[in-house]
A and B are shown apart, each in its own frame.
Chain A
């Protein structure tokens, strides 16, 4: 099992010419923030510049952009099919990349499947998602990883980069066959037991050590389980009043500290998922200064919601790790701005409605995220001046792309590169309607909220997966 099997469906590539005209191009890889046209031909960006002519041939287009190499791929096939998309007032960005997604297939299709989850991703401006391993069966074999990857190709709305489990069955004991997954068609270089922390320090140490052979990244849910038995919400003033068992910030920080120490000793790569506490931010900031190979993510909900909201006992707000205090939110925002936190990740976690319609303590943890992520970041962080637009887009694109290998996603908007792009309207204000989401589940904590900013178009290799706010309908979406 050292090379991809021959029967895998090829990646879908767009055909024809698309001119994204007059948008504000935010290209974090190049540091570009300027009004530009972007010309796409047969799935590939062929020119970025001013006043591009979509009818000119590829060589001419490319020449209008200083430094571009005429005759780059895409220039060969000239099509008469030309579409001009007016992007005035919109941002043109790399397609978003989510390193932390739950698509629930296989096993929990009553909450989400790869069709509905991919549609949610496309609607959210994403071109690449990393579905987590806590499916049934668990993604601890090439068979499961390739199933997920292949379904993604068939649906063809986003590219899927599955996450393999660190341990077999998420049991925290025996290592998953990293090599088998790395060499599968899904080419997995990122492993996580998701919500199940690898509690045993020796298992984690061996996993980090073994992963060195594949330059793989390990992502460990940062929660010391002995400190969080029965935990229901952030431990603090509100858990005290609401009578809910607390999830102390120390439980997150102790696990991160342990993993950072282990990773430093081994020179291994560590990714810290959904950072939520000010103390965790300080640990990661210090680790980066020391040169430890660590990346980190924060979710839109932890960047915007606080534990006082739990006073409603609405289980839609139940999530692990829990929403924290205003001080923690402030620290997370600073960390996202200064790059201590590399990526915004959704931890998109669909749950069937009947599971969330229970008493708080019995409801499962998790929130939807893909379709609101950009809007929450834009509303809470950009409109408030915490992040400039280019930095915000960086945390949705090049940031997550630095966490693991996601192919051509999240990179530069430049001639010769696959046209994985998002076009967003940063000023469009809309009210979140849980029933109108593409996800099969409805558990968004932002339901009823007015948010600012919405993806208008998403292109995967030059093919519209979202166009004028509508997800393309020919895809195998089973919602």
Chain B
């Protein structure tokens, strides 16, 4: 793989996405703990630089690195020199001086991973930056869809909710377009980004009309504080107009999937019975996330070549 970093889905070509997904397929048994850890990245040091709290994503990257036998150091903003006023640049230079092999970075600031790549010579893996990108989330979502639906070319995915503030939505639309899927965005007009028509997705406001046509219903978390800024009037109204409940679930095609990047607001964008229904693959997304992150770490750190040659378990179960 020619990729030096994974900062944005925009940096990927179709073949690179396929390579990541194929590699993740090989990683999946290890992620599912059907096979033991492999020594592939032994001796490599992966730093999880989490300048914004995200326990779920950090644990997922942590597990992914450990399944590949990399050493993991966790650097979070709280309790670190960052909270004592150390600059972003000095943090980056410090990590560089310490000799890490890869930095997985999460930041509330859009663009921080790209800036980091200018300070450091090692691969940068974006674990979410501001409203900008969350590339491994999009890749694990596409991976999950492909496992259920096969080739995604011509498939239709609705992304519903707070598109404006969502790094997931930006990555998701780009990744789905790369694999040939059609995307329809459904949201209150206040939560659509400016010039969203340039994203190459269609936009709809009537969720009921969209549901029968789609293969995947992808729901985004809506933050309750948004209603304080007049984006929408109340969580009750949001749930009624944009949320998915049992009635709406029944409008979907029989084999359509329900997905959510988590954490869910049960009762707002998704009702409890939809989250727990057999159409929901939300917990599967979590497991697949480990496999996809293993694949990306592997491709960034172990270089080109087929993964399976090196995926011999250390200890046979």
Contact = CB atoms under 8 A, between A and B. Distances in A.
Interface of A: 232, 235-237, 239-246, 248, 312-313, 354, 357-362
Contact of A236 (B129, B130, B194): B194
A359 B132 contact: no
A239 B198 CA distance: 12
A403 B131 CA distance: 41
Interface in B183-211: 193-196, 198-199
Contacts of A241: 170, 198-199
Nearest to A310: B111
Contacts, number: 68
A313 B126 CA distance: 15
Interface residues on B, range: 20 to 34
Interface in B100-148: 107-112, 114-115, 129-133
A175 B112 CA distance: 41
Contact of B130 (A235, A240, A358, A361): A361
A362 B132 contact: no
A362 B130 CA distance: 12
A360 B111 contact: yes
B233 to A, nearest CB: 19
Contact of A359 (B115, B131, B193, B195): B115
B114 A313 contact: yes
Given A243-B132, A243-B167, A244-B130, A361 B199 contact: no
B109 A362 contact: yes
Contact of A354 (B87, B110, B170): B87
A243 B131 contact: yes
Nearest to B170: A243
Nearest to A240: B193
A246 B131 CA distance: 12
Contacts of B167: 243
Contacts of B129: 243
Interface centre among A241, A242, A244, A357 (most CB of B within 10 A): A241
Nearest to A244: B110
Contacts of B231: none
Given A243-B129, A313-B111, A357-B88, 16 more contacts: A237-B198, A240-B198, A241-B170, A243-B130, A243-B132, A243-B170, A244-B131, A313-B110, A354-B87, A354-B89, A358-B88, A358-B89, A360-B109, A361-B108, A361-B109, A362-B88
A243 B110 contact: yes
Contacts of A236: 194-195
Interface of B: 87-89, 107-112, 114-115, 129-133, 167, 170, 193-196, 198-199
B2 to A, nearest CB: 21
6 contacts: A240-B198, A242-B111, A243-B167, A354-B87, A360-B110, A361-B130
A53 to B, nearest CB: 59
A240 B192 CA distance: 9
A246 B194 contact: yes
A237 B115 CA distance: 21
A235 to B, nearest CB: 5
B132 A242 contact: yes
Contacts of A357: 87-89
Contacts of B130: 243-244, 361
Nearest to B196: A240
Nearest to A315: B115
B280 to A, nearest CB: 27
A317 to B, nearest CB: 11
B109 A359 contact: yes
B177 to A, nearest CB: 13
A248 B194 CA distance: 10
A126 B165 CA distance: 45
Given A241-B170, A243-B132, A359 B198 contact: no
A313 B280 CA distance: 37
Contacts of A237: 194-195, 198
B196 A359 contact: no
B194 A240 contact: yes
Given A241-B170, A243-B132, A244-B131, A359 B111 contact: yes
Contacts of B199: 240-241
A246 B192 CA distance: 12
A354 B86 CA distance: 11
Interface centre among B109, B167, B199 (most CB of A within 10 A): B109
Contacts of A240: 193-196, 198-199
Nearest to A246: B194
B194 A239 contact: yes
Contact of B88 (A232, A243, A245, A359): A359
Contacts of B107: 359
A354 B108 CA distance: 20
Contacts of A313: 110-112, 114-115
Interface centre among B111, B170, B199 (most CB of A within 10 A): B111
A16 to B, nearest CB: 50
A243 B88 CA distance: 19
Contacts of B88: 357-359, 362
Nearest to B107: A359
A237 B130 CA distance: 17
A313 B87 CA distance: 17
Contacts of B195: 236-237, 240
